[in-house]
């Protein structure tokens, strides 16, 4: 088939790579000329394992074309996948400006019957607005479908080629047929439902993942108060197949461009349908409190517990990990940002390091010092703070790190090391819930 993918971001580029690799003719459209020009030159706007290989191979074989022009591709597409951002607005609701504008530009260029598939995460209640926008500009047959995306950054390609489920949110048999055909060779359960159910599946999934994380974080706090070990407690819980062990890793809370915004948007959405989602308010509150608790932990670790502000003055701290999770350079809503800001407010002298996200970080913290590797970061520091669990940090030579530090203190927001081993090496090792 010929398809258009609107938005050359994380979801758009992965979707374009997937459908081109499956043998379709794919046009990937973005309003950013700069982004499209650099994609044409083979430059990917962010780090995602395997993405460059898939995009360059399919571009070379002419199954994938990058363009800023809707008119070049939409008229000949059987399906248009809308993958633009739906960021949070000030009150937590999803900002649908990009979505409406992408639908409008698509509508202006529809020629024959087309399925307009919304892959962006968008709230229930705006379906009529979307229909109205298209009808204002197009006299042709068209149908909407919601087919939410479940990829995780860092493993986006694996997730796209091996999905657990493919949600096809449309009651139109004609649209269902096109979407089933496009996804035919992919594994995973097919969930065919109406559009609203599909939209809800997406919010409910992300909110459930966030709930698991906040539950683990709440347990970590209880463990700290009672002297129990949260890792053992979670092992004991997660081995029950009904519960499962994934997304039960406690730490500094969930970040990234999706979980935090989707939890807030889901609360706002529920509110607009007259349901007070107190459960999710607590999930969000627990998540926010993780950062404050972590800052207190850092202050305790370095002995700066008095109430004089700034009380971390002259304290040298290395931050290991800036990306919101490993294997990405994305720092959208990364916990590291709040941690760095709080420590700077307390007067700390920071050195920052991340295997991939330093370029991103420089745009947010242009005046900070950046290290070239973990050992460089550790040199002469009072403490080392682990913010992201990069494999590189797991594999580092801890004896060498200890010798580089001024004081052998590690505050670990991701519980990546064995507590006994750390004690044996001679570290004062602070963790979450152990």
Q: Which residues ranging from 65 to 84 are in contact with ligand NAD (CB under 6 A)?
A: 83-84
9 near ligand UGA, judged by CB under 6 A = no
Does the active-site annotation cover 223?
Answer: no
**Using H for helix, E for strand and C for coil, what is the string for the chain?**
CEEEEECCCHHHHHHHHHHHHCCCEEEEECCCHHHHHHHHCCCCCCCCCCHHHHHHHHHHCCCEEEECCHHHHHHHCCEEEECCCCCECCCCCECCHHHHHHHHHHHHCCCCCEEEEECCCCCCCCHHHHHHHHHHHCCCCEEEEECCCCCCCCCHHHHHHCCCEEEEECCCHHHHHHHHHHCCCCCCEEEEECHHHHHHHHHHHHHHHHHHHHHHHHHHHHHHHHCCCHHHHHHHHHCCCCCCCCCCCCCCCCCCCCHHHHHHHHHHHHHHCCCCCHHHHHHHHHHHHHHHHHHHHHHHHHCCCCCCCCCCCCCEEEEECCCCCCCCCCCCCCHHHHHHHHHHHCCCEEEEECCCCHHHHHHHCCCCEECCCHHHHHCCCCEEEECCCCHHHHCCCHHHHHHHCCCCEEEECCCCCCHHHHHHHCCEEECCCC
User: Which of 20, 151, 160, 301 touches ligand UGA (CB under 6 A)?
Assistant: 151
Pick between residue 94 and residue 384 the one whose CB is nearest to ligand NAD. 94
Answer yes or no whether residue 248 interacts with ligand UGA by CB under 6 A.
Answer: yes
Binding mask 108-147 for ligand UGA (x = CB under 6 A): -------------x--------------------------
289 touching ligand NAD, by CB under 6 A:
no
Q: How far is the CB of 151 from ligand NAD (least distance, A)?
A: 5
Give the nearer residue to ligand NAD in terms of CB position, either 102 or 248. 102
Question: Which string of x and - marks every residue 195-224 that binds ligand UGA (by CB under 6 A)?
Answer: -----------x--x---x-----------
Which residue of 35, 119, 316, 325 would you call a contact of ligand UGA, by CB under 6 A? 325
Given candidates 46, 126, 150, 375, which one binds ligand UGA under the rule CB under 6 A?
150
Which of residues 123 and 355 has its CB atom nearest to ligand NAD in the complex?
123
Q: Decide: is 286 part of the binding site for ligand NAD (CB under 6 A).
A: no
- Output 10 or 142, the one with its CB closest to ligand NAD: 10
- CB-based closest residue to ligand NAD: 9
Binding of ligand NAD at residue 85 (CB under 6 A)?
Answer: yes
Does 284 engage in binding with ligand UGA (CB under 6 A)?
A: no
Cα gap 349→382, rounded to integer Å? 10
155 counts as binding ligand NAD under rule CB under 6 A: no
Contacts 24+ apart (CB under 8 A), 177-185: 178/1, 178/78, 178/79, 178/115, 179/79, 179/115, 179/117, 179/145, 179/147, 181/1, 182/1, 182/3, 182/19, 182/22, 182/24, 182/79, 185/22
The item of ligand NAD, ligand UGA, none sharing an interface with residue 312, based on CB under 5 to 8 Å by kind, is none
> Of the listed pieces 34-42, 151-159, 297-305, 376-384, which binds ligand UGA according to CB under 6 A?
151-159
Q: Is 14 near ligand UGA (CB under 6 A)? A: no
Q: Is 18 in the site for ligand NAD (CB under 6 A)?
A: no
**Binding residue (CB under 6 A) for ligand UGA from 247, 282, 375, 392:** 247
Q: Least Å distance between CB 149 and ligand NAD? A: 4
Interface residue list for ligand NAD (CB under 6 A): 6-12, 29-32, 35, 83-86, 98, 101-102, 105, 120-121, 149, 151, 153, 257-258
Please report, as ranges, the residues that interact with ligand UGA according to CB under 6 A. 121, 149-153, 206, 209, 213, 247-249, 251, 254-256, 258-259, 324-325
Query: Hey, which residues are catalytic here?
Result: 258
């Amino acid at each position: 088939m010929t398809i258009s993918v609107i938005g050359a971001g994380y979801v758009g580029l992965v979707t374009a790579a997937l459908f081109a690799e499956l043998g379709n003719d794919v046009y990937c459209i973005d309003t950013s000329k700069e982004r499209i020009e650099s994609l044409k030159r083979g430059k990917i706007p962010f780090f995602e394992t395997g993405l460059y290989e898939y995009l360059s191979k399919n571009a070379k074989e002419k199954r994938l074309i990058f363009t800023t022009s809707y008119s070049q591709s939409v008229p000949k597409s059987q399906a248009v996948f809308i993958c633009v951002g739906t960021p949070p607005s000030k009150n937590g609701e999803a900002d649908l400006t990009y979505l409406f504008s992408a639908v409008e530009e698509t509508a202006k260029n529809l020629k024959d019957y087309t399925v307009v598939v919304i892959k962006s995460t968008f709230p229930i209640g705006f379906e009529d607005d979307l229909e109205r926008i298209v009808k204002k500009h197009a006299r042709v047959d068209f149908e909407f479908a919601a087919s939410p995306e479940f990829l995780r950054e860092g493993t986006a390609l694996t997730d796209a080629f091996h999905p657990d489920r493919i949600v096809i949110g449309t009651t139109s048999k004609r649209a269902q047929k096109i979407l089933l055909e496009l996804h035919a060779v992919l594994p995973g359960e097919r969930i065919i439902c109406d559009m609203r159910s599909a939209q809800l599946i997406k919010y409910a999934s992300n909110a459930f993942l966030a709930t698991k994380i906040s539950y683990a974080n709440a347990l970590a706090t209880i463990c700290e108060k009672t002297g129990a070990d949260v890792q053992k407690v979670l092992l004991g819980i997660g081995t029950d197949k009904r519960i499962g062990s994934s997304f039960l890793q406690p730490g500094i809370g969930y970040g990234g461009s999706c979980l935090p915004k989707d939890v807030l948007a889901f609360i706002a959405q529920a509110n607009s349908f007259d349901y007070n989602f107190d459960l999710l308010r607590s999930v969000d509150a627990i998540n926010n409190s993780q950062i404050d608790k972590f800052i207190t932990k850092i202050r305790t670790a370095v002995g700066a517990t008095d109430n004089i502000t700034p009380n971390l003055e002259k304290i040298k701290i290395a931050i290991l990990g800036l990306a919101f999770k490993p294997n990405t350079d994305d720092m959208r809503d990364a916990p590291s940002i709040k941690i760095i800001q709080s420590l700077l407010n307390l007067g700390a002298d920071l050195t920052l390091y991340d295997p991939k996200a330093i370029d991103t970080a420089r745009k947010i913290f242009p005046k900070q010092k950046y290290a070239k590797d973990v050992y460089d970061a550790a040199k002469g520091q009072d403490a080392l703070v682990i913010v992201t669990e990069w494999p590189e940090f797991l594999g580092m030579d801890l004896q060498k790190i200890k010798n580089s530090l001024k004081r052998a203190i590690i505050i670990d927001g991701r519980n990546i090391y064995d507590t006994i081993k750390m004690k044996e090496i001679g570290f004062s090792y602070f963790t979450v819930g152990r």
